[in-house]
Each structure stands twice: as structure tokens, then as C-alpha cells.
Structure 1
């Protein structure tokens, strides 16, 4: 989907401050200083710290506001329809409805900093992905020396019946997005993983290898939680003898330590050790501060700007930004094992969410 790169109503002089052909970061900063303060929405509380650091760096006023993933879409829609925009910048964490609703309604647009574009993979520029959050398969390092499984199909077998912890796909739409992305782009790898494990090709009436795996996982009655925190505790709590395997965001590894959890990243898992979910940087088409908003987007794409989030294992789309030394998950050493997310098919994820939720609901063994 092509994004609008400039506000048609903005003055020509202001537009030139972010124009790709004549881009000048100093001119953008100067133009931003003549604009009203900005407000930034994100689903992480760290946006408060990031906005404060941005304001201090550039001598501007910026306020970070935590808005839950589930509330972002509705809040932006209501503000836009009322003509009373508060959020100048939104890091959209629920990508499918953002792409399917907010962009077509003309409420949000994307902009990729011209001076950083060469460092951002082409598939992450339009819309621009600020950060990707790895969701990884984990195990208890106090009990196991290495990950106890080497293939995701093992998680559908009796040994792991009621022993896999993960968020409930009925309450966490990103999980159904993961299912759909897998089926659309990596179904052959799910089928190949089956054959690698069992020694014979997969035979299924489900229509895809992904559906066959999702059905088998649901039928194996995983422990469904309402947060990564609960899943992480089930997997990594110390003192267990027969702990869960689990799926969770790398941020949970912050709780690792002698008096905390014992979480380990399952590496070399066939076909993927986890999957990535993007946070997309968007700008309100009704903002009174188009230059400051774009400057903030650029700031998020720098090592300094994203540091509070990269410490949790989240990864900048800017390939020049290194992994954070405080990340305890080690996921940056295994990026080739993570299933990527394609924003090109985000609207398909949105259209099929209910279908995947129904499929999970029907097959889940209580």
C-alpha cells in the first residue's frame, strides 16, 4: 500500500523540510521549533521516557502517552472524526486494523526519513516499521540444559499436553495475525517441519499445514494466559521439576536472575524459534506539527531513540542500530530463526482474524 509522504495542506516551506529530494535534518529541526508541542501514543510506558529524551535533545515539547494496543485504533479514530487530534504521532502496535481502517480513512500517514532509508530494508519502509517485537519459544534453564524440543510439531504431542503456556489467541489478535502470516507466507516450511519430524509427508484435510498445526496445538490444551507475564512465570519460575514450555515476548527476559526467572530462548527450532511483530510509525494527517512529528519518527529510528525498547530485545528496522547490551534474551544472535512479518498482507490478517479465532475456539481442548 502506497503511503502519502507529505501533507498537501502544509506550506511549501515546511514541506521542503522533510522532502526526500531536498532533505536537510537541520532544516527539519529548525522548522519543528516553530511548531506547537506534540503528543505521541504508544502501547509501551517507555514512550514517556523516550518523549522526554527527545524534548531535551532538540529543545522541543513532547509528551509520551501510553495507550493500550487495543485502545489505540478507537482513540485515533474518534479524535480524527471529531477533528480534535491529540496524538500527533502514533506507533501503531495493532497493525492490521491500522492499515485497514486508519490509513484508508485518511487519518494517518507514514514517512520514512530520507537520510535513513538506505539502512531500512525495503519491506519495512512503507509504512515505516519503527521496531519489531520478537515473540519467542522459551524453556526453563534451571531444569533443562538446552531447549527440550527441536521441532514445533513436538508441542502437539502427548508429552506436552497441557504443558505449553501462551497468551489466548481469542484475546490477543496478534496471535491470529501470526497464524495467518504463517499460512500465507511460510506454509511450506510448516509442512516440511512435519516431514522432518515424522519422516513422511503431512496428510491433512484442513487445507494447509498451518491449520493442521494450529488445530493440533489447540487440541493439546495449552495453558492460555492473559499476559506474557503469566506465561513467563509458568515457564521460568524456579524450583519446578516439570515446567512448561512457552511463547512470549523477549521483554519477559528482564525478570531473569538468581532471584527471578530462569528463561531460555529455544534456538534452532524447526522451522522458527519465534516470530516478529511490528510497531509502525504513523503521523496524524491533521497534526499542527508536521515537522516535529517527522523529527520524532526519525528519532525513534536511531540507537538513542529506541534504546529504552531495544533493552527488552525489540529490534530497530534501522540495520545500523545495534542490539542493546542489556537485552537478556540474546535474540539478536538468532534473527535468521525468527519468522518475519509482512505489512503487505496486513489487511488479510485483519480480514481473517475472526476466522482464525473461530478455528481456535472450535479446536481448543478444555
Structure 2
């Protein structure tokens, strides 16, 4: 498998410039923006989380601007916004897209949407999350059953490839969940040495592989260990954390599933796992080019970058890219204490993640069927 690490940023850079503060007016005063937004009419916002309905409602209550939040899967949102752009009939104003590589390739690069960073946020949000703008980072973590173990039974990702865990790792099928193949590619591109170091820590010798990276070897071995593949995080969490589970599972889930612990689930974080206990998956905030409500759209992006605006999602462990915003004390997983143990996502190689998805899926399928 030949996975190229090189890609072209030219089109993306142009798309981001269209949405930059220079293009939209770096001197936009927030109160002026509010006044303009109130003159524009209703706003339509899409996101892959149902929390967008509450966020839109609370935005309306705060600013007196009608906003409608609509939940849809990322591919649906991308298709809707792409078709509206091609038809010059833009109805969707703002979208929060959890599939960064697809959003960049299919919406930003063709110019269907623009990325906008509010002027008063530019000095706060790390530059790596501004080109294009990532609004929130969703942690995906390795979890275990606290009824079976007092602490996580694994300390190293490579242990998931051992016979002990054959058939006892629960996760969504990577062929249907892009976050996994993007994680594979990010690890191969940026964290190959960390995976090699973790291998040596586990097995006492250097990794020898014919694959292009340590992560490719890990993916190959993990798939061959026949994980329990599910269609949703909910099902994976149920396999891992059921209080009456007869079998012992560990696996990958979103921190959002830890809220089920209040209903009796027994999900625990695998803190201290080498080289990472999970990864942070970014969601882009984009504005439709040609929106009839440009001021309201920019105001909504600004709102998402505030404590109040993102609060419905931070309770699930999702992390704002605005470092002034911390996770609430009532967040169920406790991931806030371990955020530095999550793999950072490199936005600048998202195009490579998109280009290599099929190769990673092929490697997974071939290894799983062996």
C-alpha cells in the first residue's frame, strides 16, 4: 500500500482566504454585527449532533434572531450545501461538519462555503485550528468496564493486537466511520515514531514490518484480531460497559457515551495508554457562500465559540478550540484531566486523510478477512 503524504494546499488556501477576517471585515464590531444580523431574517444551521437544535434555539433567545437547527449526517449536509451552491439557490447558512477532510475537499475547495474566524477570536484560537476554522474537537477514547477492572486492563495500544483480546475489542466499523481511517492516517503521517516506541515498550524489540508505517502494521494486526464491529458508538459502548456483561471488552467510543454511566453503565477511561489514549476529531464551522444572511451566519459562528454557545456539546466532553472555554464539572467522562493524552489532529494534512481513506479501508478489510 503506497500512502502518499503529499498534497496540494493551493485551493484550500484560496477557500480559507475567502472566509478570512480580511475578506469579511476584521474591524467588524460585535454590536454592529448583531444590528446587521437582526435585519436579515431567519437562519438555517445544520450539524451532525442533535444538540444543534438547542444551540439554535438559545441563539435565537439571546439575540432575537430566528435560527433553526437541523440534525443530519455529515455526508447529507455536504450534499445539500454542494447542490445548493451549484443551483445558486442557497438555503443553508451555516454548518458544523464533523468530517473535516470531506468538508475541505467537497465544500471548501470548490468554493461552496467559506471559513470565517471572528476578529476577536483570532488571538485566542490556536492558528492550527483557524485554516480552516475548527469549532470543536470530539474526543474518541479507549474505554473499559469498571465492573470488571479497577483500572484499565491495557497500558499500550499494541496490547489490543494480542491473542488475549482477540474478538474482545469493540469499535465501529472503520469502513463506515471516517474518523477511524482519518485517525489511522494522522498517526501514520505525524506519529510514526511514537507508535514504534510504543511497540518497543510492549515487546522489547524494534518493530520490523513490510508496511509503510507502524500504524499500518497496527491496523493490520488489530483487524486480524477480529474486533467486534458495530454500527454505532452506542452499540460499542453497550458491549464495553454493560453492568451485567459476561464477556470482557475494551474498545473505542466517544466521550459522549459516558453520560450513560448515570443509568448504570460502567465505562472507564484508559488514561495513561501509550502512545495516546485516543484522539481529538475536529468539526469545522463553515458559512455558505451566497448566504442571504451573512451577518447572522458570522454571528452564529461567533456564538459557537463562546461558553454559552458550545455548552450543549461540552457536557459530552467535546472541547472548544477557544482555550478560554473549559469542560464543565458535570462532564461524565472526566476527559478534561487527560486532554494532553489525546492525539492532536493536524488540519494541514486533512486532504491526505481524504485521499488515503480507501487504502486504509482496503487494508482493514483484507486483514479482517484473513
Does 1:305 pair with 2:331? Answer: no
What displacement does 1:4 show?
4.2
Q: Output the TM-score relative to the length of structure 2.
A: 0.94
Partner residue, 2:218: 213
Does 1:33 pair with 2:38? Answer: yes
What displacement does 1:325 show?
2.1
Runs of 5+ in structure 1 lacking a partner? 9-14
Q: For 1:6-85, what aligned pairs fall within 5 Å after superposition?
A: 19-20=25-26, 22-85=27-90
Q: Could you report, residue by residue, the CA deviation over 1:161-205 in whole angstroms, capped at 9, with x for unpaired residues?
A: 000000001111121111111100111111110001111100011
Q: Using the alignment, how far apart are the partners of 2:59 and 2:250 within structure 1? A: 39
Does 1:169 pair with 2:174? Answer: yes
**Relative to structure 1, is the Cα distance of residues 236 and 134 closer, same or farther in structure 2, using a 3 angstrom cutoff?**
same
Q: Secondary structure at the match of 2:170?
A: strand
What displacement does 1:139 show?
0.3
> How many residues were matched structurally?
358
8 Å contact kept, 1:18–1:294: no
8 Å contact kept, 1:129–1:278: yes
8 Å contact kept, 2:19–2:116: no
Partner residue, 2:6: none
Does 1:245 pair with 2:250? Answer: yes
Q: Output the TM-score relative to the length of structure 1.
A: 0.95
What displacement does 1:334 show?
0.4
**Relative to structure 1, is the Cα distance of residues 189 and 7 closer, same or farther in structure 2, using a 3 angstrom cutoff?**
closer
8 Å contact kept, 1:17–1:28: no
Q: Secondary structure at the match of 2:118?
A: coil
Q: Tell me how large the CA RMSD over aligned residues is.
A: 1.6
Partner residue, 1:329: 333
Choose the corresponding residue for 2:109, options 104, 107, 111: 104
Q: Secondary structure at the match of 2:356?
A: helix
Runs of 5+ in structure 2 lacking a partner? 1-11
**Relative to structure 1, is the Cα distance of residues 354 and 59 closer, same or farther in structure 2, using a 3 angstrom cutoff?**
same
Does 1:351 pair with 2:348? Answer: no
Q: Secondary structure at the match of 1:119?
A: coil
